Amino acid sequence: MINWLNEKTKKYPYKMAIFGALVPYWVWHVFFVEVTFPNYKVYDAAPLGYDLYTISMIFFLRVLLAPLVEELIWRKFLWWLTSSIFRFKGGGVITLFVITLGFAYTHDSPHIIFPIGLFFGYLRLKTGSIKPSIVAHMLWNLSVWIRWTPWSNCGFC
């Protein structure tokens, strides 16, 4: 079973990146947020009244630029640095957890970001490339951005 998963991951990293980023977000949103807290709102992330320029800049920064920069820092540079310290059997898994913990605690909600960061790191570990992680991260941020835009009335989603 493990060999099948490893071969599929190496053969189809972008399919795994796409479904691995979008499916958990929408499952989390439907089953956790809407069922558990149907009327709960933390804040209005994008209040009504934003013009097209502001919305497009938020899209560019949050959906395209932030994932690219974060993945280059965390799963390229810091991964390389951490993996050079843990050069023994099983060091890749330790690197995965160290990088994911750091990544999660630089975000607002580490308890939510940790599992998705673990998935991004898993993609990095199994494929040896940060490209699938970048795609998955952009799709995750796109899902969040769609729910936090002015046409959405949910501030927590």
Q: Look up residue 119 and give its amino acid.
A: F
Is residue 33 domain-resident?
A: no
Burial profile 101-116: b = 16 or more Cβ within 10 angstroms, e = fewer? eebbeeeeeeeebbeb
Is 54 within a domain?
no
Domain presence at residue 26: no
Q: Is residue 89 part of a domain?
A: yes
In a domain, 100, yes or no: yes
Give tens-digit pLDDT for 2-59.
444 455 555 666 666 666 666 666 665 555 555 555 554 544 444 555 667 777 787 8
Q: Return d(Cα 124, Cα 118) in angstroms, integer.
A: 10
Integer Cα distance of 27 and 38 in angstroms: 15
Residue 154 included in any domain:
yes
The domain containing residue 78 runs over which residues? Answer: 64-157
pLDDT digits (tens, 9 = 90+) for 124-146: 998 889 999 999 999 988 888 87
pTM: 0.69
Is position 20 within any domain? no
Residue 56 lies in a domain: no
